[in-house]
Structure 1
C-alpha cells in the first residue's frame, strides 16, 4: 500500500506543478471533478486504515487513552475532528459492502456515505437482507442526484419505496424513539447577564416547540411600515409579550408565598429624573429608560428607596391600570392605540401619558393602551402621546418622520 500511496503522491506533485491558468474551461471543470472524486476515494482509504488500527488497539498499546486521542496527536487534528474520524470509520465499516464499494469508485462522497450508512443502520430489525439491499441500492442511486441533506430526508422515507408494509410501523417506532430522546434532552438555560444581554439556549420537544411557535407567531408580524426589526428581534419581543401577559393573568402558582412578579429596585431620584439604573432581584442592572418603561407595567412592581435605602413605596395600587379603569381603557381604545397597530387589548399595558414617576395620575384621562413594542417605541423614540379634546388618544410623530408633526390616531379598532 505504501508504494501505491507514493505513486499517488507523485501524481499530486504533478498536479501541483501544472499551470492552471493554461487549462481550457472544459479541462478545468473536468479536473475539478476528478480531484474531488480522488479526494473522496483517498478519504475512504483513510477511514479503512483508521478502523483497522482502532480494531487492533494500536493506539492504546502505544499508551494513548483512545484512538481519537492518538489520532489527534499523530495527525495534528482537533479533538472533535479526531473523534468524528473514528466514529465515521466505524459507521462505514458497519455498512453493507455496497456502500464502501460506492465510496471507493467515487459514486458516493464521504458525507453521502455517512448518510447512507446511518440510514441503513437505522432500519428496523424486521427489514431482512433483501430489504436492506434494495434500500442501499436506492440510496446510492439517489446520491448521484442529491446532496447529503436532501439524501438524508429521502432516506427517512426509503422504506416506503422498498417495503411499504414496514414503513408505517417503522415510522411510528422512530417517532417514539425521537420523542423519548427529545424529552430526555429538553432544557432551557439562561446565562448570566453580559454586556446587557442574557443568552437563551435550549432544546424543546416537538410538541412544546409547536405550542411556543403558535403562541409567538401572531406577535411576530411587523407592526407597520416603519418596523425595521429583524425576524429574530420580533420573535424575542413576542416572547417578552407572552411573559408579560402570563404575569398579568395572575394564574401562575405562588413562588415563595408570593404571586410571581418582577421587582425593580431603584432610588426615588433615579426614577423621577431618569438618570440612574435599577436593579432586579437577580442582581442584574437595568438602564434608566428600561426602569421608567417597566414602571408603567402592571406586571412589574417598583420598589422605591430614599437616599438611605429605606423603602418609600412598593407598587402603589393607584399606579396600575386595573379593574374598572382598565376596562374603561379597553372600551375606549379597543387595543393598542398606536397608529396602525392591530394588537388586541390582552396584549397591551396601560401607559401613563404623563409618567407615573413624574406625578402623573392613574386615570382614564392620563392613560392609553399600548402593546409591548409600541410601549418601547414611545419610551425610546421621539413620539409623543396626548389625550385630545374629544378624550381620544393621539400621537405626534417625530420631526424626522413628519416635520409638521401632524397628530395621528389608530383607526384600526374603531367600529364607527
Structure 2
C-alpha cells in the first residue's frame, strides 16, 4: 500500500507582506495587529504596536497581559475599551475593502439587459440585490454600500477629462480607516443634496468641515448639524423649507381596544416650541421636587432630633419618606403635564370663547356616586371610569357631572353651586401656597380645589375648612390610593394608606410645614 505524498504548503509570505504593506490589505493588517496586541498584551501593548508596520502578527512574547484563553470577561477595563476601539478600526478597514469590491461589482453589472453584467449572470436584477444576497446584509445596507462606492471610488469625468472620485476627502478618510460606511453615507448624501446649489470650492470646504465634525459628534449630532449647514449654504431656501414643515403638521387622537387614548402628531419647530417648553418645564419642576424632597426630609429629621434631644441616626441624612416618593416615569410625568396644560387652558379667564364654553360631561348613576362603587362614562370616550375618578375630575372647572337614576332619568345636571368661589380659591391659595400635598412643588395655577369631605357622598360643605388645593396628580392619588386629609386648627395633615405606611403617620401639608419651620 502506497501513500501519496502531500504537496508542501508554501509559507504565507505573500499574505504577511500584503498585511504589512501599503496596499489594500495594509490597513486591515494594522487593525489586526492592534487587536492582537490588545488581546494578548493589554491596552499598553496595543498603544505601542498600533500603526507599526514592523509589529509581529503573533502575540507578544510571554503573552504579557493575556493568554490564549483571554476573553472579554477576563480583560481589564482599559483593555476592554482598547479592544472595542481596535475592533471598530478593523471593521472600518474591512469596509474600505468591501467598498472597493462593491464598486467593481457595480461597474461590471451594467448592461443593456438585466441579465447582462455580473449581477445579472448570477440571477439578480441589480448589484444591490446581488450584494445583499452575497453578504447577508439587508437591501438597505447594500444600497448604502453602492451609493458610498459610487461617491468615493468610482472616478467621474466631464466630457473627455477623467477626474477622481466625487468626494475625494471622504474617500481618503475611508481608506485611512477613520470613517465608517454609515457616516460616509450620511455625509455624501448631504453633499449630493446641496451639490448643484453650491460652488465647487464651497462644496469641498463643506466636505472637509463635515469630516472634522464627524470626529466630534455622533450620528444624531450630524443630522442636527446638517440642518444648520443647509441653512448657511442656502439662506434663500430657509423659508420654503419652513413652510413645507408647517404644511406637514398633524395631530391625531384615538382610543384603542384597551381604552387607552393615543396622541400622535408632528409639528413644525415654531408650533412645537411652546408645547415642548410647557411640558418640559412642568416635568423639570416635578424632578426638582423629587430631588429636593430628600434634603427636606433630612432637615425635618434633624429638627425633630433637636427638639427631642435625640441624636439623628446616620441613615436619616440620606433617607427619604417612602410614602411621599414619586414613582412616575419621565414619560408619565410628561403625560400628566400635557393634561395639566389642557386643564389650565380650559380654565383660563382669557381662554378662547369656543374653549371657554366647552365642557366635559361625566355621566354617573346616583347610587354609584353616593357609594363610590361602580363606574361613570365621559362623553366621546368608550372606556368607563371608576366612580372615584368621576369624583376627582368633577371638581375641575369645565366638567359637568350628570347624575342619573337607575332608569337613566337625569336627576341633576351641573350643580355649579358646589364649586368653590373665586374668593375661596384665593383664600385657599394663601393658606396652601400651591398643591398642599407634602413635598409637591406645583404652584397655585396648577391646582384644583378639592372637598376634603366629598360634597355629595359626605355632605361636605364648600367652605375653607373643607377645602384644599391639589395638583391633578395628587388629586388622583387622594381618590385612588386611599390617602386621607385632616384639618386640625387650620393645619392640613395627610395620612397615607397602610400599604405606603403601615403606621399611617400623618404628614404635614406643604404650607403648614413651611410655616412650622419658619417659626422654629
Match of 1:5 in 2: none
SS across alignment from 2:448: strand
- Describe the shift of the 1:286–1:57 C-alpha distance in structure 2 as closer, same or farther (beyond 3 A): farther
Gapped runs of 5+ residues in structure 1? 1-7, 9-19, 159-166
Summarize the Cα distance change of 1:337–1:51 in structure 2 as closer, same or farther, 3 Å threshold: farther
Of 37, 41, 64 in structure 1, the residue corresponding to residue 93 of structure 2 is 37
Shift of 1:406: 3.4
Give the C-alpha shift of residue 104 in structure 1: 5.9
Q: Deviations over 1:197-248 (max 9, x none)?
A: 2222221222222211322233222344322222221111111111111111
**CA deviation profile, 1:246-273 (whole Å, cap 9, x unmatched):** 1112623427xx8221111121222222
Q: Which residue of 1 aligns with 2:206?
A: 135
How far did residue 49 of structure 1 move? 4.6
- Picking from 302, 316, 336, the partner of 1:237 is 336
Matching of residues 254-269 of structure 1 within 5 Å: 254=354, 259-269=357-367
Counterpart of 1:409 in structure 2 is 509
- 1:304-357 deviation digits (Å, cap 9, x = unpaired): 211111111222112222333333333443322223333222211110111134
- State the partner residue of 1:200: 263
TM-superposed deviation, 1:156: 5.8
Distance 2:487 2:185 in 1: 66
Give the alignment's TM-score, normalised by structure 2.
Answer: 0.61
- Aligned 8 A contact 1:296 1:349 in 2: yes
Q: Specify whether residues 407 and 92 from structure 1 end up closer, same or farther in structure 2 by C-alpha distance, changes over 3 A only.
A: same
Deviations 1:98-138 (A, max 9, x none): 24565466453211111221232243755321222233244
Mapped to 2, the partners of 1:281 and 1:51 lie a distance apart of 65
Matched, 1:314 2:371: no
Quote the Cα distance in structure 2 between the aligned partners of 1:72 and 1:260: 60
Contact 2:145–2:181 (8 Å) recurs in 1: no
1:343 is paired with a residue of what secondary structure? Answer: coil
Q: Distance in 1 between matches of 2:476 and 2:110?
A: 60
* 1:7-406 → structure 2 map (5 Å cutoff): 24=40, 33-42=89-98, 45-46=101-102, 49=105, 58=114, 81-82=138-139, 85-86=142-143, 89-90=146-147, 93=150, 96-98=166-168, 99-100=170-171, 102-103=173-174, 106-123=177-194, 125=196, 127-140=198-211, 143=214, 147-152=218-223, 169-170=232-233, 172-173=235-236, 175-220=238-283, 221-222=285-286, 223-224=289-290, 225=293, 226-249=325-348, 251-254=351-354, 259-282=357-380, 283-358=382-457, 359-388=459-488, 390-399=489-498, 400-401=500-501, 403=503, 405-406=505-506
- 1:266 touches 1:305 (CA, 8 Å); kept in 2? yes
Give CA deviations for 1:355-413 in whole Å, capped at 9, x if unaligned: 1341323232322111112212211223211222x334332234544726235132377
Count of residue correspondences? 383
**CA distance change for structure 1 residues 273 and 111 in 2, over 3 Å: closer, same or farther?**
same
Distance 1:293 1:142, change over 3 A: closer
Distance 2:103 2:359 in 1: 57
Q: 1:70 to 1:293 in 2, by over 3 A?
A: same
Structure 2 CA distance for aligned equivalents of residues 248 and 54 of structure 1 = 68
Tell me which moved more, 286-295 or 350-359. Answer: 286-295
Bigger-Rg structure (1/2): 2
**In structure 2, distance between residues paired with 1:171 and 1:142:** 20
List alignment gaps of at least 5 residues for structure 2: 1-23, 25-35, 47-56, 60-82, 153-165, 294-324
- CA pair 211-72 structure 1, distance change in 2 beyond 3 A: farther
- TM-score normalized by structure 1? 0.75
Whether the aligned pair in 2 keeps the contact of 1:350 and 1:367 (CA below 8 Å) is yes
- Name the structure 1 match of 2:14: none
Q: Deviations over 1:72-110 (max 9, x none)?
A: 9977999xx535744774576367242456546645321
